Amino acid sequence: MKGIRFFAAWAALFGFAVAWNGVVHLVVLADQNAAIAHLRRNGGAKTLALSLLLTAAVCAVFVFGYARATKSGSIREGVAFGGYFAVFAGLLVDFNQYLLYPLPGKLVVAWFLSGLAEFCLYGAIAAVVLRPLKRAPSPER
């Protein structure tokens, strides 16, 4: 994979991730997230910057993994890779946090399901952006 295509896929995923997470956490799950506000760090701009850096890193890992693990580059394969990635990340993050902290189970399930949808969409986006380039047929000799 060429660097420019990696960057294009990463940028598409990062933009989508910021928009998706804004809608999910600040709108859809706002009331449920408010119930755990007392558990959050007070960091303001520093926390936001670290969150964006983490999101950028996750997008880079996703694109790299997608490029290495997929064969056909189809949207179906991208969605399947995204689902696998989501289950892995959800077990590591969402359900682990449920075990460690006093979080409502409904919120953790909502995080997991929104993450599953998010990463499946990442896979579809990556499939479109990284779709194999069609080459012009070579002239016969």
Give the residue among 42, 116, 39 at the shortest CA–CA distance from 81.
Answer: 116
Q: Tokens 């809608």: give the residue.
A: 23
Quick one: pLDDT band at residue 140, thresholds 50, 70, 90? low
Give residue 106's pLDDT. 93
For residues 47-67, average pLDDT: 95
* % of the chain residues with pLDDT over 90: 70
Nearest-angstrom CA–CA distance, 16 and 124: 12
Domain containing 25 equals 3-36+43-129
Sequence-distant (6+) residues with CB within 8 A of 58 are 17, 89
pLDDT at 141 over 70: no
- C-alpha dihedral over 101, 24, 30, 84, to 10 degrees? -20
80 within some domain = yes
Give how many domains the chain has, as a whole number: 1
Give residue 36's pLDDT. 84
122 within some domain = yes
* % of the chain residues with pLDDT over 70: 93
Its pTM stands at: 0.85
Average pLDDT, the chain: 90
124 within some domain = yes
What are the C-alpha distances in Å from 72 to residues 75, 78, 124, 136? 9, 9, 13, 19
> Each residue of 67-122: pLDDT tens digit?
999 999 999 999 999 999 999 999 999 999 999 888 999 999 999 999 999 999 99
Nearest-angstrom CA–CA distance, 126 and 128: 5
138 within some domain = no
107 within some domain = yes
**CA 12 to the chain's CA centroid:** 11
140 within some domain = no
61 within some domain = yes
63 within some domain = yes
What are the C-alpha distances in Å from 80 to residues 21, 51, 140? 21, 26, 39
